[in-house]
């Protein structure tokens, strides 16, 4: 069971690595759902950890329908991630009709190679997830991060199971959205997914000390012990599945 942790700081990246995560997704502005981090943050995180580092490529918050100028920004950000030795990028482009923009997504996937590519939860906005899955596969992405089109992965378990079955090994289905140590086992056993994604972030006491909490600004950190607990629960799921196969 591969564990990916969403992070927005060097401290959280180190905690994720020490806690046993396979991969981190590096973002900035998580309050906006995550946008592309600075070159400085990418470089510093890369120097601090030796696990897989994937960088989100998202030029702004809001929807996932991008102009040509925004697409140019995304292309340049992919080049920056490659130059700073990232292992992969995370992206997603939709049409105004809430379908996968296959042509433009493929262009970015090809630009990103040989890095890995995850299609993010813009996928969950699509009208037809079955068709969207085929489109993401056609665009060449390696995995899709999804809650099954629901607000969280618990609510989308049935759809996640369908997507996992429909993928037939052509692409990895990575479940994300409200996954914690308490529910990762049940979710993975029901859906059969081999990868899970979580932020696991908690508000830091430092926020209140600095007075930033009163200003509406909070500092969120990933803690090593939380990642270890999450990793342990996910690993137990894999062992449970292996035991089922043997029996």
> Structure pTM?
0.91
Q: What is the pLDDT of residues 144-201, one digit of tens each?
A: 999 999 999 999 999 999 999 999 999 999 999 999 999 999 999 999 999 999 999 7
- Decide: 35 and 28 in contact? Cβ < 8 Å: yes
Computed on alpha carbons and rounded to an integer, the radius of gyration of the chain in Å comes to 18
Answer for the pair 126, 98: CB distance below 8 angstroms, yes or no: yes
**117: enclosing H helix or E strand:** strand 116-119
Helix (H) or strand (E) holding 7: strand 2-7
Provide the domain limits for residue 206.
Answer: 2-246
CATH code where residue 214 lies? 3.20.20.380
Residues 6 or more apart whose CB falls under 8 angstroms from that of 245 comprise none
Confidence at 202, pLDDT banded by 50, 70, 90: confident
H helix or E strand, kind and range, residue 243: helix 224-246
DSSP state of 247: -
**What is the C-alpha to C-alpha distance for residues 44 and 239, in angstroms, rounded to an integer?**
35
Where residue 32 falls among pLDDT bands split at 50, 70, 90? confident
- Return d(Cα 80, Cα 206) in angstroms, integer: 32
Mean pLDDT of the 24-48 span: 95
Contacts of 188 (CB under 8 A, 6+ apart): 1, 175, 196, 234, 237, 238, 241
Confidence class of residue 238 from pLDDT cuts 50, 70 and 90? low
Give the chain's domain count: 1
């Amino acid at each position: 069971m591969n564990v990916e942790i969403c992070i927005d700081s060097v401290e959280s990246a180190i905690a994720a690595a020490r806690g046993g995560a396979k991969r981190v997704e590096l973002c900035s502005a998580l309050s906006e759902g995550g946008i592309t981090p600075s070159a400085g943050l990418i470089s510093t995180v890369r120097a601090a950890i030796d696990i897989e580092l994937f960088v989100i490529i998202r030029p702004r918050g809001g929807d996932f329908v991008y102009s040509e100028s925004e697409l140019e920004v995304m292309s340049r950000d992919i080049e920056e991630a490659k130059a700073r030795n990232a292992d992969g990028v995370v992206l997603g482009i939709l049409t105004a009709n809430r379908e996968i923009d296959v042509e433009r997504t493929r262009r970015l996937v090809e630009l990103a190679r040989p890095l890995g590519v995850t299609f993010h939860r813009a996928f969950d906005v699509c009208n037809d997830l079955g068709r969207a899955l085929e489109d993401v596969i056609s665009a060449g992405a390696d995995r899709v991060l999804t809650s099954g089109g629901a607000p969280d992965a618990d609510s989308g378990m049935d759809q996640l199971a369908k997507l996992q079955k429909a993928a037939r090994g052509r692409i990895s289905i990575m479940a994300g959205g409200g996954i914690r140590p308490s529910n990762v086992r049940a979710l993975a056993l029901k859906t059969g997914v081999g990868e899970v994604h979580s932020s696991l972030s908690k508000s830091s006491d430092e926020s209140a000390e600095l007075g930033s909490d009163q200003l509406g600004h909070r500092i969120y950190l990933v803690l090593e012990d939380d990642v270890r607990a999450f990793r342990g629960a996910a690993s137990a799921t894999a062992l449970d599945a292996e035991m089922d196969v043997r029996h």
